[in-house]
Amino acid sequence: MANLKEVRTRISSVVSTQQITSAMKMVSAAKLRRAQDAIIKLRPYANKLKEILQNLTASLDDTPESTYTKERPIQKVLLILISSNRGLCGAFNTNVIKAANRLIQEKYSEQFKNKKVDLMCFGKRVTEFYTRRGYNIISNHTEIYDALRFENVSPIADEIMKMYATEKYDSITIIYNQFKNAAVQILSTEQYLPVVQDATAKGNKKVETDYIFEPSKAEIVSDLIPKSLRIQLYKALLDSHAAEHGARMTSMHKATENAQEMLKALRLSYNKARQAAITKEILEIVSGAEALKG
């Protein structure tokens, strides 16, 4: 009977876990809808702004490079890592950490040896991971998800642009999960600064545009680049936020299904053990009755 009690305890534990994972799945599904709507609405604007900027930049002839497009020898690097504040979302946070480690080892190994690789973290998971390992984290913004709005992200983007303009860093890269759908997240590593030029469009001297420029193209580009960089950071955070809820919903769905499979196996094991115990008791009664007859 001790065995039966043990199986009953495990069944009760799995049922409780299944209820929790099922509830978390529904919560993530509700949050995903809002986060998904936000990123889907922003993408057309962000893409069009990037297209206009590339078109204008490509059509400029003999114009000095912008502060944010000028490339320098890479001596000091800043990595912007975007993760979640909570776990239970599969490999969502682990993928960001692996990508960052791989980038440091393969591209910035010399800078890392000279202690010239700094991190800016969004989310508790990457902050805790790299703090324990002694990396230099210049700032962390774990509270940003409490009010993920453009007016809250814009000052952070301005701070990053200022650090690049003052040559504190020569290269700035963002690593985050891009939202594709509820089940798929695309790990993205994007160069934030210097701004990447469209080589194809830049090589084409006859860029056709239907724009009327007021004031000059150069002034418009100098205004558009900071705005585009603010939107790019905001878009990365919205992408990661939606991808997090998608990953958690998928993870909790799988956990709920696994709990259901485990319950089937445990109940089958319980029924077999109970049947064996009943059979044993019947045999003992029959044996005792036969002994009394004798």
pLDDT digits (tens, 9 = 90+) for 177-235: 999 888 889 999 999 988 876 655 455 544 455 667 677 767 777 788 899 899 999 99
Closest C-alpha among 271, 281, 265 to residue 3: 271
- Give the Cα separation of 163 and 159 in Å (integer): 6
> Do the beta carbons of residue 225 and residue 195 sit within 8 Å?
yes
> Do the beta carbons of residue 277 and residue 77 sit within 8 Å?
no
Residues of the chain with pLDDT under 70: 1-2, 57-65, 197-211, 213, 217, 294
Count of C-beta atoms within a 10 Å radius of residue 186:
12
Instruction: Give the strands of the sheet with 171-181, arranged side by side.
Output: 136-140, 117-122, 77-82, 171-181, 184-193
Q: How many residues does the chain have?
A: 294
Closest C-alpha among 88, 155, 148, 97 to residue 127: 97
Q: What is the pLDDT of residue 200?
A: 53
User: 2.60.40.10, 3.40.1380.10, 3.30.300.30, 3.40.50.300: which CATH number matches 25-251?
Assistant: 3.40.1380.10
Q: What is the pLDDT of residue 83?
A: 94
Q: What is the pLDDT of residue 118?
A: 95
Q: What is the pLDDT of residue 111?
A: 93
pTM confidence score: 0.84
Distances (CA, A) of 162 to 157, 169, 226, 260, 274: 9, 10, 10, 53, 71
Q: What is the pLDDT of residue 106?
A: 93
Tokens representing 114 are: 């000279």
